[in-house]
Structure 1
């Protein structure tokens, strides 16, 4: 009996020592390997996804920074342009104010000049009137002295006014008519003066600096007159015309 038991034990031991074939792999081992591979793949995909997301975040952040920088640059340029325009407008306003002040100062005595011009006219008329009577008057010497005195007063007054910017506008015979400085009193025929030119000055004009206060009054030439032939010539011309007919 004991021998039989020993045989049974040996058989059981041999069974345990028999190695399983390769194709009879344990299912638990297969599942473990597959799980490890899936975890590895999942981990690899997760890393790639995170890296892609990080790259996308970097790109988005870069774009946002560029957009903010561009907006700030545009705001800076707009503010700079506004300040430059404000400065330019202020400078222009300052220049206009200075120009207006200079103009007002320049023509501050315009009303005084307007009031004194008739005085100059009266003195000039008095001089002409006296000069015309000196030769025919018995008191020629007294009139001559008076004329000289009036001329002196006229000259002194005119010199003072010239010092304040008053300029006489004188029109010489033969000078072209200038509508900006001359006023035509009337026009007449003239064989000596070309059409559109001044024949004579009727009254002197004046300007304050570059502003005309009163234009010079002048007589303007209409050019040579178209003369009719004498009456005898017209008769002869008529006779010749009748003969020819």
Structure 2
């Protein structure tokens, strides 16, 4: 039988192809070494470290800013809680001051002159009202001085307007009910009557002009 010429000894095939395969493997290894060398070059390594450092620095600054904002808000909340803790209590006490003021208004000069009893009661009410206002002032609860002042929408609530040519237009000529502030916050506006028809009020110097909205109404 004729032997197939394609049938070769595996050992002979290996010996014929081994040098070629080895050369290819060596070439591939060199290429891989070049790739690894480029990927880990000092310049690229430094650039990578700088980018990572910048990222960490940015994260740190952002976290620091967040922490400072949280602390600022917490400090403001603690300050407000301490500063305005008596707001609700003040709103309950203010009507007592209103009633004392009404009692003094009812005790006219003629009534006090005509009766020692009325005069004695009026003196007692005056003392009580004064002590109450002193106690309120200790907690920075202050009555708004509205009478004869220019109308201020931040502190006053106009109930009506009355023709009055003897005072500048927009002057508070009567107070129905006193207003109060706690520190810089409005507890209750003064209910007032405002004049109209009078001369125009002279504008205040620019440095003395009140802020457009200088009252905190959040209590």
3-state SS in 1 of match to 2:108 = helix
User: 2:123 matched to 1:182?
Assistant: no
3-state SS in 1 of match to 2:152 = coil
- Aligned with residue 62 of structure 2, among 81, 85, 95: 85
CA distance in 2, matches of 1:157, 1:197: 28
- Aligned with residue 182 of structure 2, among 208, 219, 230: 208
Q: How does 1:83-162 map to 2 (within 5 A)?
A: 83-132=60-109, 134-135=111-112, 137=114, 140-162=115-137
Q: CA RMSD in A?
A: 2.2
State the match for 1:218 in structure 2: 192
CA distance in 2, matches of 1:203, 1:132: 21
Q: What is the CA-CA distance between 1:224 and the residue it aligns to?
A: 4.1
CA distance in 2, matches of 1:160, 1:117: 12
TM-score normalised over the length of structure 1: 0.62
5+ residue gaps in structure 2? 1-29, 200-219
State the match for 2:146 in structure 1: 171
State the match for 2:22 in structure 1: none
User: 2:169 matched to 1:191?
Assistant: no
State the match for 2:206 in structure 1: none
CA distance in 2, matches of 1:218, 1:125: 15
Greater helix share, 1 or 2?
1
5+ residue gaps in structure 1? 1-52, 226-245
Q: What is the CA-CA distance between 1:151 and the residue it aligns to?
A: 0.6
Larger Rg: 1
Deviations 1:41-89 (A, max 9, x none): xxxxxxxxxxxx9xxx7xx759832122112101101101111110121
Deviations 1:89-147 (A, max 9, x none): 1111011101011101111111110000000000010111113552563xx21211111
CA distance in 2, matches of 1:177, 1:123: 25
CA contact (8 A) 1:198 1:221 kept: yes
3-state SS in 2 of match to 1:156 = helix
Between 1 and 2, higher relative CO (CA 8 Å, sep ≥ 6) is seen in 2
Deviations 1:191-223 (A, max 9, x none): 112222222222211011111011111111121
CA distance in 1, matches of 2:63, 2:193: 55
CA distance in 1, matches of 2:131, 2:112: 26
CA distance in 1, matches of 2:186, 2:59: 42
CA distance in 2, matches of 1:162, 1:202: 22
- Cα gap change, 1:61 to 1:135, in 2 (>3 Å): closer
